[in-house]
Amino acid sequence: MAVTIKKVGVIGSGQMGNGIAHVAALAGYDVVLNDVSDERLKSAMATINGHLSRQVAKLTITEDARKKALDRITSAGTLDGLSDCDLVIETAVEKEEVKRKIFHELCAVLKPEAIVATNSSSISITRLAASTDRPERFIGIHFMNPVPQMELVELIRGIATDDNTFDTAKEFVGKLGKQVAVSEDFPAFIVNRILLPMINEAIYTLYEGVGNVEAIDAAMKLGAHHPMGPLELADFIGLDTCLSIMQVLHEGLADSKYRPCPLLVKYVEAGWLGRKTQRGFYDYRGDKPVPTR
């Protein structure tokens, strides 16, 4: 039987965290948004307001809905502020040690009956659940980017996830107006098991000089009707996240076909992480994106 969720905690206020806070608040949930820096939290609130305002301008929501949604979101600089949440969704960086540390600290302050979820793109839900005090109330709720636009959410049970937790997560996703795809707990689940090797292959195509950035993106946009070219999409997701997902696939499935492209590694080492750092396969610092290769 599903448990009633009223207050949702979101840990990490990057592009996914602010998107999840946005859709949860619009659906009527009280939201507490947490991040390590106040600056990040301020910028996330401004981003959410910007996206809600665009929805008002497009008449997809009313001005009243925008105001109410914003009023439902509060920010918290520490995890103590999430102690009375019914559901907490972790969406910090795709690094297992960071997530484990967050769960350890969160569980010490969170009410025992609350559900803990991760928006991880690739990491084992069973393994992450084992770093909490409540593996039966732990689940993967994997949103797609950009959250307000994408219809799908993957639900991934760990080995110990109980039926109440699964049913509650499914009901929550339904109330956000999204569709569920259920995935088994294997590296990168369904969407990223398919999407990330395609993106990695596009980077190999660039690395081997088969085509330049513009040619590769145009080929897949015009030749396969993808809404974004694979390199544009990689920049949109974040190259650090893309690399982490490929590493999880490579290590988890022990197959050389998932080897991250050395050029992807180089971009991440340079700190060229895509849109979020203004430089990746494109340079976003000018009026329009300029390919970096």
Ligand X SMILES: NC(=O)C1=CN([C@@H]2O[C@H](COP(=O)(O)OP(=O)(O)OC[C@H]3O[C@@H](n4cnc5c(N)ncnc54)[C@H](OP(=O)(O)O)[C@@H]3O)[C@@H](O)[C@H]2O)C=CC1
Ligand Y SMILES: CC(=O)CC(=O)SCCNC(=O)CCNC(=O)[C@H](O)C(C)(C)COP(=O)(O)OP(=O)(O)OC[C@H]1O[C@@H](n2cnc3c(N)ncnc32)[C@H](O)[C@@H]1OP(=O)(O)O
- List of residues contacting ligand Y (CB under 6 A): 51, 54-55, 58, 60, 121, 144-146, 148-150, 191-192, 195, 227-228, 233, 237, 241
Helix 262-270 / helix 239-253 crossing angle, nearest 10 deg: 140
Give me the residues paired with residue 154 across strands: 142, 181
The rounded distance, in Å, linking the Cα atoms of 136 and 133 is 9
Q: Answer yes or no: 212 catalytic.
A: no
Contact characters 35-74, ligand X, x per CB under 6 A:
xxx--x----------------------------------
Indicate the residue among 79 and 234 with the shorter CB distance to ligand Y. Answer: 234
Residues 266-285 that bind ligand X (CB under 6 A): 276
| Dihedral sign computed on CA atoms, order 96, 98, 103, 104 | positive
- List the single partner that 103 binds among ligand X, ligand Y, none, CB under 5 to 8 Å by kind: none
Q: Answer yes or no: 22 catalytic.
A: no
124 sits near ligand X (criterion: CB under 6 A): no
Do the strands 87-90 and 115-118 form a parallel or antiparallel pair, or are they unpaired? parallel
Burial group, residue 111, by CB count within 10 angstroms (0-12, 13-18, 19+): exposed
Helix 191-207 / helix 262-270 crossing angle, nearest 10 deg: 90
Q: Answer yes or no: 250 catalytic.
A: no
Peptide bond into 146 cis (omega under 30): yes
Q: Check the annotation: does 144 bind a ligand.
A: no
Out of 18, 75, 121, 122, pick the active-site residue: 121
Q: Check the annotation: does 15 bind a ligand.
A: yes
Virtual torsion, Cα 130, 118, 256, 228, nearest 10 deg: 180
14 sits near ligand X (criterion: CB under 6 A): yes
Stretch in the footprint of ligand X (CB under 6 A) among 25-33, 47-55, 117-125, 207-215: 117-125
Minimal distance in Å, beta carbon 23 to ligand X? 13
Q: Which residues contact 105 (CB under 8 A, 6 or more apart)?
A: 79
**What is the binding site for ligand X (CB under 6 A)?**
11-17, 34-37, 40, 91-94, 98, 102, 119-121, 143, 145, 237-238, 241, 276
The residues assigned a catalytic role are: 121, 142, 154, 192
